[in-house]
């Protein structure tokens, strides 16, 4: 099932994509897609709805981030073998974890705002993972049972703030608009193997990233199990799982985003994103 949220920022309503690819409005039955709707029982109830009897969402309506009320936005760094190589860094021995501010979450096609004075604005195509049930010290074998679904993500990054501003990576990762998510939350039953998803990203029509989640150093199951050792993962928490090779900072010479650029992401079943840098 593909779930989404539509409408103005801060006033989104729940929606779902029917079998014919039509976006349907769920708001008469589900006011908003929030963490409590990500439990197995609630998702099963949503799957039982005859979507074709519901009104279609207006063409051109804004699509928001797939889930409202997320409590934690967690990110994994250097999690693709070729990306670690292009960065000139040794692959980590266990997942490299940092946070992004909740206030940077936005819809998949909303504009990305370049911060004042920024000269090193970069793109990072990623697989996002939404937690559906509380996870504490879960095993790798059981980890995916706690996943509600997956989405496409862009971990927008300001490299100077990330590396040179006397702080953790969160400084370069948390500006407003730096967390485009969606368009869909694709439920886990539609993606039995999250380690086989094609991912690509283009800037102004030129391909910059082209990979597959099979190149991840740590799988989704390993990431969820590892995080649950030292933090409780809650329904609605979202984890972005690292980016493939091809970021601007890894190019020779480096190439960064500027105002007016168009960034387009494609993730197979996860859908597509398009952002303008403003």
pLDDT tens digits for 176-198? Answer: 999 999 999 999 999 999 999 99
For residue 27, being part of any structural domain is answered with no
For residue 168, being part of any structural domain is answered with yes
Res 91: pLDDT:
86
For residue 178, being part of any structural domain is answered with yes
Give the whole-angstrom CA distance, residue 222 versus residue 143: 8
Res. 87: pLDDT tops 90: no
For residue 108, being part of any structural domain is answered with yes
Res. 85: pLDDT tops 90: no
Res. 175: pLDDT tops 80: yes
For residue 94, being part of any structural domain is answered with yes
Res 84: pLDDT:
79
For residue 177, being part of any structural domain is answered with yes
For residue 8, being part of any structural domain is answered with no
User: Looking at residue 210, which CATH number applies to its domain?
Assistant: 3.90.850.10
Provide mean pLDDT across the span 77-99. Answer: 89
Where is average pLDDT lowest: 77-81, 104-108, 127-131, 272-276?
A: 77-81
Give the whole-angstrom CA distance, residue 14 versus residue 40: 17
For residue 230, being part of any structural domain is answered with yes
Give the whole-angstrom CA distance, residue 183 versus residue 274: 10
**Could you list the residue range(s) of the whole structural domain that residue 271 is in?**
67-276
Predicted confidence band of residue 151 (pLDDT cuts 50, 70, 90) = very high
Looking at the structure of the chain, the number of domains it has is: 1
Closest CA to 78 of 59, 63, 98, 61: 98
Average pLDDT, the chain: 96
């Amino acid at each position: 099932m593909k779930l989404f949220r539509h409408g103005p920022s801060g006033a989104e309503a729940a929606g779902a994509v029917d079998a014919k690819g039509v976006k349907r409005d769920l708001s008469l039955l589900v006011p908003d897609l929030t963490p409590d709707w990500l439990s197995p029982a609630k998702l099963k109830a949503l799957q039982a709805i005859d979507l074709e009897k519901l009104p279609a969402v207006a063409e051109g309506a804004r699509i928001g981030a797939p889930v409202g009320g997320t409590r934690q936005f967690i990110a994994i760094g250097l999690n693709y073998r070729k990306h670690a190589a292009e960065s000139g860094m040794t692959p980590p021995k266990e997942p490299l974890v940092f946070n992004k501010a909740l206030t940077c979450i936005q819809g998949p096609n909303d504009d990305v705002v370049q911060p004042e004075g920024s000269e090193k604005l970069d793109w990072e195509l990623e697989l996002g993972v939404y937690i559906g049930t509380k996870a504490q010290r879960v095993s790798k074998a059981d980890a995916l049972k706690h996943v509600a679904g997956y989405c496409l993500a862009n971990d927008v990054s300001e490299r100077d703030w990330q590396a040179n501003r006397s702080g953790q990576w969160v400084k370069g990762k948390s500006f407003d608009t730096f967390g485009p998510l969606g368009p869909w939350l694709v439920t886990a039953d539609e993606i039995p193997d999250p380690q086989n998803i094609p991912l690509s990203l283009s800037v102004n029509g030129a391909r910059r990233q082209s990979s597959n989640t099979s190149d991840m150093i740590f799988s989704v199951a390993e990431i969820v199990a590892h995080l649950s050792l030292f933090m409780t993962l809650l329904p609605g928490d979202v984890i972005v799982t690292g980016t493939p090779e091809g970021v601007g900072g890894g190019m020779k010479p480096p190439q960064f985003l500027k105002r007016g650029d168009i960034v387009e992401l494609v993730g197979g079943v996860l859908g597509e994103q398009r952002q303008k840098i403003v």
